[in-house]
Chains A and B, each alone.
Chain A
Amino acid sequence: MMRAMRVLIGLMLWTASGHAAELNHMVNDRTIGARLEGLNYPDTLRKDLRSGLTNRVLIRVTLNELNKLQGTRAIEIAVKYDLWDETFSVVQRRDGTVVNDQVLKTLGEVLTYLRNLEMPNLFPVVADMGPLTLRAEALLNPIERERMEQIQKWVRENSSYVPLEGAAESTSNAMFNRIFEQYARNADAAAEWRETVASPVFSVPRP
């Protein structure tokens, strides 16, 4: 019994600590979609989702044919907790258009939804498509470059941040710096958390 419990706990821990996320294609109505499973969101997500503020997951999916870019889609999932109804509004947009709008009742349902994302009908299937790959870059609560630059300017003007005082870098400060570093590497969007996943090579039947 104890051994079984240990195995069970071990399995739970293994699941919680997260194995690598997987990205797979799906074909439906002559379109290629993506299924993104097992994203390892930060531990703070559970609390953030119940903050009453909107949490956004931005996923940029690209389709490549022999390393040649065939198309890009921006998927945004906005989750907002209703403090009174205690439900979660989950809206999925594709390139700015709402494609799915639902209300989930529990935090567990939201986490399951976010960890098993289905994004159908992203790219049309065209004739003579060679070997294909999908790539998804997921960002949690992304911050636009312009907005970050404004904050950076504000900090420069107002901060009491001086060398000695920065000696012990705080976690929040590290988060702030992490976002800056992403922009320093010329990323066009940055976030506290981001993960990139690529699919195995696949092919689709001719239409």
Chain B
Amino acid sequence: MNRRGQLETTSVKAATTWLCAIMLALLFSAQVFAQSAAPSALLVEDLQCRGNEATSCEFILGYLYLLPGDPVDEDEIGNARLRLASQPAFRSVDIYLEKGSSRDRVRVIVEVDEADPYAREWLAGTSWRIDSLSQLVSGRLTHQNLFGTGKLLDISGFAYVPLHGRVRSEYSARVQYVDPHLLDTKRNYLIAGIAGITNEFEGLDQERSEIDAFVADVTIGRRLWDFSYFSVLYRYIAHADVHLALPQSDGSVARLNPTVNNYVLVASYGWNSEDDPYFPTRGSRTVLRRTWTDTTEADWDGGFRKTWTTAGGTSWYAKVLEQPGTEYRGAIEEEMEASLGFARPIAGSTSGEIRRGRWYVEAGYSSSNTFRGDHFREYGLKVGVRLDTRSFGVVDLYALGTGMDITSRGTP
């Protein structure tokens, strides 16, 4: 190769090298430009929980529909925060990102501040009903995040103590476990409970009954549509002891120990659209039940309550028959068959001890037949205050007074 040829070869090599360099530079700059111009395409490298002690991370991350390898979806993260925020198990919820192992990867951190898992409720009231003075005391303690998975353990006690007049007493206790998502299903739930009760009642005609019972029950239910539910309860009566003392027309007293049911089967349909469990301002609750036992005929029962609020913040409520509970539990309340009441809000205290509250006035009416067939009507007035307190949970204090009117007399 001559000198010119060598020079030409060298020039071609140099040009090729420069061309490659320029192309690489262009390619690199195009990549850089593409990186800076393209929207953020971060990928989830890992999901972690912080601040959770009683609640499992699996439970928390069950509210966030993102998996490692997914693109970071800010809308979904926002939705998950709202879903978690709807859970009373948390005082606050925060979701943020941390750097991952490379520039396009991040860790999604769900940080929670857990609320007190125990919820408390107290009810105390003094009542003068018909011709006896009684004191009702009831308490309920619920662990609302059992095993850190949102299951519930509910313990309640009830005492209705006679103070003066005829004996009308009842003492009961119940422990129940609630799985709001049976077998991780979306709408099915399970309740399993045991309860004991002792009850003594003296009627207007001096008839007396004494009942001691111990029962176990299981309920399978399904939430329907937005507010409704349907459930089937099976209750096994493990022990029951019933004594009746019935005055006869000849002056003697018949003492009976009737056979009691071995089981009770209850099908229930209900709904609850009230906007607040303890301080509702609108919505309604209802329950309708069909009960079968092995010794008595099938029977219907239930109740309905409607709440609405008028201008000025007064909440009104009307109730017929039984006070409806919710799908997970019945209401504990001293009540009359039909009632109409109103409630006015009480502001929270500056110390924070009282978070919110209301005072209420309720007029009620009941009617029934006595043992001998007399028909009587009961008219009552209930005045109370319900407070949501920091130290004691929800506290309801009331006084109830009723008058009686016997209008007819049948034959025993």
Contact = CB atoms under 8 A, between A and B. Distances in A.
Interface of A: 44, 47-48, 50-54, 80, 83-84, 141, 143, 147-148, 150-151, 153-173, 175-176, 179
A147 B152 CA distance: 29
Nearest to B223: A157
A167 B394 contact: yes
14 contacts: A53-B96, A148-B82, A158-B186, A159-B180, A160-B151, A161-B88, A162-B180, A163-B326, A164-B144, A164-B329, A170-B92, A171-B113, A172-B90, A173-B88
Contacts of A160: 87, 144, 150-152, 178, 180-181
Given A84-B103, A155-B83, A176-B82, A167 B121 contact: yes
B377 to A, nearest CB: 31
Contacts of A84: 99, 103
A172 B87 contact: yes
B95 A158 contact: no
A175 to B, nearest CB: 5
Contacts of A80: 40
B367 interface: no
B144 to A, nearest CB: 4
Contact of B388 (A150, A155, A168, A176): A168
A51 B121 contact: no
Interface residues of B, number: 60
A47 to B, nearest CB: 7
Nearest to A160: B180
A156 B106 contact: no
B116 interface: yes
B196 to A, nearest CB: 20
Interface string B383-397: 000001010011000
Interface in B247-294: 276-278
B227 A156 contact: yes
A165 B91 contact: no
Interface stretch (B23-31, B71-79, B212-220, B400-408): B71-79
Contacts of A154: 83
Contact of B98 (A83, A151, A165, A179): A83
A164 B94 contact: no
